[in-house]
Chain A
Amino acid sequence: MIERWALVSGLRGDLETYDLIQRDLKKTRGVTSLFVLGDLVGPERNCDALLDRLKNPHSGDLKPDCIYGWWEEQLLAERGFRGERKADALRLSQGEDAVSALLNTVNPSHLKWLASLQFGFIELDCALIHGSSSDVGDNLTSETSPLILLDRLTRLNVNRLFTARSTKQFHLELTGGGINSQVKDLNGKREQQQEVPKRSVIGIGAGLNYTLYDVGSDKTHFLTAGSKTNPKRKGFA
């Protein structure tokens, strides 16, 4: 049986978008898991209905496995769930009004559930994280230095890192290369050679743009909910 994951992020309270994705998935063969990689909430709209749906899926919904993202981190920090930290990153980047707006979009009854969400999932040899192994706000894109991408993969010792923070859809594969190093200590010198392992970083998109991943064939499909795009045309082996 084909194992196929659906990877979603950046819903930011948009129940309509989530509903469109669920309808897409019902029509797509072989989707066994739905991972929502954070940013369930956002400051633009009331998020309670979406959070209710994620916590209590409708009959026929693919049950979502959620982790927290940058917006949840800001919300939880401001609400006192992160020790002494507050929503400093949001305050710095978008100002006090954005912090207030975010607080107003989520009923406090959801906070405990949001605080229970994990930083990421390790599934097989894949890491599923909102940002990266470095930070929930780590903004990895196809333009990010491959050296940094390799570091983020190495920290978790995984072959594939699925990330959502950038909101972009991309599949960047590290296909080769290497490095030499020489270590000198009080015992003398030794040379080391290391090759680049074949690993990938996949940006899964946000909102209507989501990703399917075929576990058996290691193919990704970048999709847009509600469109009639054939997954095969955008596949990437």
Chain B
Amino acid sequence: MNHAIISCLHANLPATEAVLNDIDRQGIDTITCLGDLVGYGPQPNEVVELIRKRDIATCQGCWDEDIIDGLNACECSYPSQLAERRGHLAHQWTDDQLTDENKSFLASLPTSLRRDRLLFVHGSPNSQHEYLLPDMDAFAALERVETAGADILFCGHTHQPYVRELRDGSIRVRLQNADHECDQGEELTLPMRKIVNAGSVGEPRHGSTNATYVIHNDATDEVEIKEVPYDVGRTCQAIVEAGLPKVFAWRLSHGFEFAEQAEDASHVCER
């Protein structure tokens, strides 16, 4: 059976509507959302209410968490003071706009969802703030999936959709204990695991303005990355009219990241 995974909606209603319509057209009725319903975009209440109305299983993203708990992440959140100021401005604006009911909904979201061997998180099983980038250390990537007890880990947060299959892994070790001579060593065979990043519905950063999401077939484990065009201009105009930083509209209209990208994939927020 096919099911759809969406992430990082970022208060972009036209993109969210376009993606949900695309999923509906394919007759897929199981949708999982990996969080970040709000932040950066101009329609936080509308997007949260749409997800609530559709009763879409959702886990909490870093923006959702920050709106509820306040901005208390360590310095890893922003790569520069300029980016930090923009982020704080968007945070304050979103905080002012969101209704108490919608904030309660965000507060109620779990940090992960699990269906059998499938695990759904926003950033990583460690933290909503950890980036699992497509080229991160393969052993560290496998450790995230394996330690979480999953076969396939679905994540978002990077805004770049990808499917990474980790296979044919092994580690040879040699042990010396205090009371024993060195052993002959042994080899651990590592399991095959997969990381699927759903990209971003509301703020794509993969080089195109199209919204992205993924479809997974739980019988074959095949994953398809989907791109959906939407009315980017409408969202950009709403960003400017809302008084949010114009650079949010600029980067949305270009489809790539503007400075704000974590360089250290292994960093875990120490909040």
Binding site for B on A (CB under 8 A): 134, 142, 145-148, 150-151, 154-155, 168-186, 192, 194, 196, 205, 209, 220, 222, 234, 236
Contact = CB atoms under 8 A, between A and B. Distances in A.
A60 to B, nearest CB: 28
A181 B166 contact: yes
Given A186-B206, A192-B138, A170 B176 contact: yes
B171 A146 contact: yes
B190 to A, nearest CB: 6
Contacts of A134: 268
Given A147-B146, A172-B175, A192-B135, A182 B165 contact: yes
Contacts of A222: 178
- Quick one: which of B164, B175, B176, B177 has the most chain A CB within 10 A? B176
B148 to A, nearest CB: 12
Contacts of B146: 145, 147
B82 to A, nearest CB: 28
A186 B208 contact: yes
Interface in B150-196: 160-178, 182, 185, 187-188, 190
A192 B268 CA distance: 24
30 contacts: A145-B188, A147-B171, A154-B139, A155-B140, A168-B177, A168-B178, A170-B177, A171-B176, A172-B175, A173-B174, A173-B176, A175-B174, A176-B171, A177-B188, A178-B169, A178-B170, A179-B167, A179-B168, A179-B170, A180-B168, A183-B134, A183-B135, A184-B162, A185-B163, A185-B225, A186-B225, A186-B227, A192-B135, A196-B139, A196-B171
A118 B74 CA distance: 17
A205 B188 CA distance: 25
A67 B175 CA distance: 26
A150 B139 contact: yes
- Quick one: which of A176, A179, A236 has the most chain B CB within 10 A? A179
A155 B160 CA distance: 22
Which 8 pairs show the lowest CB-CB distances between chains A and B?
A: A179-B169, A169-B178, A222-B178, A151-B143, A236-B176, A177-B171, A185-B162, A176-B172
